[in-house]
Structures are given as C-alpha cells and as structure tokens.
C-alpha cells in the first residue's frame, strides 16, 4: 500500500470518568478505526482556488514571496536553477547567506533520524529535512528546531459550543452563541449547567509525581521499553520541556484525568477528559498564582471541570474553556503548554529515549480497557448530554486540532484534513503567526509549529524519509 503525502498551502488570515472510583469498566475494547493508508508519496502544491490567498504574510521576509504560490515541482526546478549540488542540499552555506536568519539557533545536538519511509517535511529555502518532532536532521539547518504552538485535540461538539466566532480551516466561522454568564453573577456560565458527573470531589483520583494529597504513592515514570500495558493503537499525550519528553497515555487519563508532573524546574498538570477526548497541559505557575487542579466530579458541557482541593472557597475551572467558571477566580484564564497526541506505536518511534507514565499507580484499575464502550464513535451516546449548542458542519464527536491565539481561536477539523489526504502539511496564519500544521491520519497525529525559526518564514513540503 502507498501513503499519500499532500502539501496544502493555505495562508488564510483570517470525564470525568463518570462512575465512582470503584466502578468496573465494561468488557469492551476501545473502538479502533479500520482504514487503509496509501504509501505512495504525492506532494501537491498550492491547492486552493484563489491564488492570491497564497500571498506571503506582509510581515514576512521578502524571500518568502519567491515561492509562496508555487507547487512542489516548482520548488524542485527553482532549486535546480540556484545550485548544481545534490537534491538534499542544493546550496552551500555561503550561497544561503545567514543561516541563523533562515534556520534560527541550531542547538539540537542529536536530532531524531527518521527511518526510511517515515513522514517528514522539507523546507524550500534550504532543502533541509525536518522530522515530526520539529527538528532539522539533515541539510544546512541541521540542529534547528521549529517552535511547537500550544494547542489541543478535542471533540467538535465541545469546541464548537465554547468558541463563538472562532474560525475553521479551510474556511468558515463558528456561528454558535457560546456560553453566557449566570444571571446571579456567581458563575461565568449558567450555574445550573455545572452538573454532577457522579463521583464526589476527588472521587476520581488525580495522579501526582510527589504522592501529595494522600495519594497511595508517587506517580512513576519509566522508560519506553518497560511499558507493557499499551497497545500500538492506544494514544498518548506528549510533553516536551527543554530536551526532555514524556508521555502520558490516555489509558491512565480514562481513570485519573489529571497527572501532575515536573520536568526540570517546570511543574505542570496533564489533564484529559474522556468525554470530550481533550488533552490540555497547564503549568503550575500561572500569571495570577499557582494552579494545581483536581477532579471536581462536576462537568460543564460534558467536559472536565477541575477545582482547587485545598482552599476553603475553591474556584471551578472548565478544561475546554481554559477558564474559571465559578468561585473567586471566575473569569481568570489558564495559560497552556504545548502538547502533542499520537499513537503509542508512533511515540515509541519518535521518542525512544523518553519516559512514560507507568500503570503502577497504587490504584486497582484495568488500564487496558476503555471504560465507555463506543462513546467515542457513537454520536448519539452521551454520559451527560452537552448543555451548549454546537454546529452541524461536523458530527458531534469528530476530532479537531484547536489553537487559542491572542485574538482568535481556530480549529482544523480532522475530517477536513482527511479529505485532503492521509498525510497533510498545511500552511496557515493565525494572529500574525505563520504556522505549519502537520497531520498523519495513520498515527492519529497532528501538531502545529511556527514556521519562522529564524527571521524568515519557511515554506515546507511533505516528503518521506530517504
């Protein structure tokens, strides 16, 4: 079989485990999509109707304009005209000029080298090859890194209900009205819509790297090769701080929903709501103080609502809104960290030296079985029905990638990306950020990066590793 790789150049400007802590999951396997993936690399250039929309960002380096509306074959011919050297590095460093301006700092000492046939990207300016960790592993930019943009995966109904006026890729605007404050002024949403999901506060026990708050033991992180409870199609959330990466499997999130951990001097909480398939990571240090969340047992719009366990008057925080919705800090926003989601099989390949959350948690749970039957694929099955209207552009539980920019929120629905291909590279713009969004359907992977590692906005094409 072959795997399609398509380049889409689109510069558009524009849980709670609802059961008690003792609940036994039904004897059911998590639904796995059966699908054929095509392996033949096909790179498609500008693939939108309006050629003017391929114009580079006016704030970008002038060099961007040369190739912004050309396709991959144009890029190849341009490279041939500019240099007689190899296809991989057609220009020497002197001809390229200031590499720091093109590539940014080249500080990654040992970038991951993809195996033959793996999905990679190549920039048109230097012809450097980049892995899906965002690292240049071959060519003039070797050792450079693209900046990951904070984002999250979630279900359509939950995002659409809470993001009025947000934009959609490839086009469109979310027309839903969104939440409104309670008439009493006590809540940022209707207080009556903050509903019990079944368990009491802290009835779904969050994991903690220090074993605080009467946890039976500290949460353990172990090497990849010591993990035996995950299947290749299980999914993990990945967090990278500096040069260290760690994985937090959905399998633990089904039962615990929050895992507080620390890499270096950065403490953070990995949160996962099984009822909206949303994984979001919050640093403990927020602009307004410290945030260490716990599972409140309540839901808003069928989504995880967190609380502060050790305060007399706790604030309730909704995960999908990234905001306080009731209590002293209602209205405060939560800062988020970059997180990536992918299958366990892909994580093992991309991050073989990483640590992974162990199933030795001190709790008696079956971390190999998904406890919600066909919830993720049955669009009519609800544990707690959503309280907000959502659009009919997509099915309720279709997945999407979402970014909340400084001014604008934007989503890249998976069905729209799958309509383009199994492996897709999207160029996009959000709040003056030039982005590349990489999508790999086979491995349930999508991640946005800034594509200006230096002073130049790079243009990429999807390729396979040699």
- Taken as a whole, the chain contains a residue count of 466
Long-range contacts of 389-395 (CB under 8 A, 24+ apart): 389/161, 389/176, 389/177, 390/156, 390/157, 390/158, 390/160, 390/161, 390/176, 391/156, 391/160, 391/174, 391/175, 391/176, 393/156, 393/160, 393/168, 393/172, 394/156, 394/160, 395/156
Summarize pLDDT for 1-16 with one digit per residue, the tens.
Answer: 343 444 444 433 333 3
Per-position DSSP letters for 344-365, written without gaps between them: HHHHHHH-TT-EEE-S-SSS--
Could you tell me the pLDDT band of residue 38, with boundaries at 50, 70 and 90?
low
Among residues of the chain, what percentage have pLDDT more than 90? 78
Per-position DSSP letters for 82-113, written without gaps between them: H-SS-SS--S-HHHH--HHHHH--B--SS---
pTM for the structure as a whole: 0.84
Evaluate whether 247 touches 345 at the Cβ level (below 8 Å). no
Place of tokens 């716990």: 294
- Residue range 349-369: mean pLDDT, rounded: 97
14 or 448, higher pLDDT: 448
Residue 48 reports pLDDT greater than 50: no
Evaluate whether 226 touches 354 at the Cβ level (below 8 Å). no
pLDDT at site 96: 78
Query: Any idea what DSSP says for residue 188?
Result: S
Summarize pLDDT for 408-427 with one digit per residue, the tens.
Answer: 999 999 999 999 999 999 99
- Residue range 125-147: mean pLDDT, rounded: 97
Residue 70 reports pLDDT greater than 50: no
Evaluate whether 357 touches 220 at the Cβ level (below 8 Å). yes
pLDDT at site 49: 32
What token pair was written down for 384? 């707690």
Residue 345 reports pLDDT greater than 90: yes
What token pair was written down for 274? 């099984």
pLDDT at site 97: 78
Exposed / middle / buried, residue 294 (Cβ in 10 Å: 0-12, 13-18, 19+): buried
Domain layout of the chain by residue ranges: 5-148+414-464, 152-357
Distance CA 305, CA 321 (A): 10
* Out of 19-28, 135-144, 322-331, 450-459, least confident range: 19-28
């Amino acid at each position: 079989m072959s795997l399609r790789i398509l380049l889409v150049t689109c510069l558009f400007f524009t849980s709670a485990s609802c059961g008690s802590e003792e609940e036994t999951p039904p004897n059911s396997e998590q639904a796995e999509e059966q699908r054929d993936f095509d392996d033949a690399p096909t790179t498609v250039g500008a693939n939108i109707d309006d050629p003017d929309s391929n114009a580079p960002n006016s704030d970008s380096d002038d060099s961007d304009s040369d190739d912004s509306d050309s396709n991959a074959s144009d890029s190849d011919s341009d490279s041939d005209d500019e240099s007689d050297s190899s296809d991989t590095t057609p220009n020497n460093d002197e001809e390229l000029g200031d590499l720091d301006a093109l590539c940014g700092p080249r500080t990654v000492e040992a970038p991951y080298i993809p195996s033959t046939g793996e999905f990679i990207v190549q920039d048109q300016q230097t012809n450097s090859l980049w892995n899906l960790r965002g690292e240049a592993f071959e060519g003039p930019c070797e050792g450079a890194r693209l900046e990951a943009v904070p984002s999250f995966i979630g279900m359509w109904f939950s995002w659409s209900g809470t993001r009025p006026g947000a934009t959609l890729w490839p086009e469109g605007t979310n027309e839903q009205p969104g939440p409104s404050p309670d008439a009493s002024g006590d809540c940022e949403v209707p207080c009556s819509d903050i509903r019990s999901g079944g368990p009491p506060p802290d009835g779904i026990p969050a994991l903690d790297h220090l074993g605080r708050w009467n946890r039976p033991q500290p949460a353990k992180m172990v090497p990849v090769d010591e993990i035996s409870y995950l299947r290749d199609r299980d999914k993990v959330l990945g967090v990278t701080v500096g040069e260290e990466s760690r994985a937090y499997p959905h399998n633990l999130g089904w039962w615990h929903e929050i895992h507080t951990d620390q890499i270096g001097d950065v403490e953070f909480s990995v949160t996962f709501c099984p009822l909206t398939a949303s994984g979001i990571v919050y640093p403990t240090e927020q602009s307004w103080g410290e945030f260490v969340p716990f599972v409140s047992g309540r839901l808003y719009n069928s989504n995880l609502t967190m609380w502060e366990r050790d305060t007399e008057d706790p604030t309730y925080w909704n995960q999908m809104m990234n905001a306080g919705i009731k209590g002293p800090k209602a209205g405060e926003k939560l800062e988020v960290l970059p997180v990536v989601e992918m299958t366990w099989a892909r994580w093992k390949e991309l991050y073989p030296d990483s640590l992974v959350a162990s199933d030795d948690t001190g709790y008696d749970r079956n971390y190999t079985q998904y406890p919600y039957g066909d919830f993720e694929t049955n669009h009519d099955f609800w544990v707690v029905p959503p309280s907000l209207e959502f659009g009919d552009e997509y099915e309720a539980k279709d997945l999407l990638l979402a970014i909340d920019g400084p001014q604008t929120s934007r989503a890249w629905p998976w069905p729209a990306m799958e309509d383009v291909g199994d492996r897709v590279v999207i160029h996009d713009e959000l709040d003056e950020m030039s982005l590349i969004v990489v999508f790999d359907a086979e491995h349930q992977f999508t991640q946005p990066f800034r594509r200006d590692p230096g002073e130049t906005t790079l243009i990429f094409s999807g390729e396979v590793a040699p």
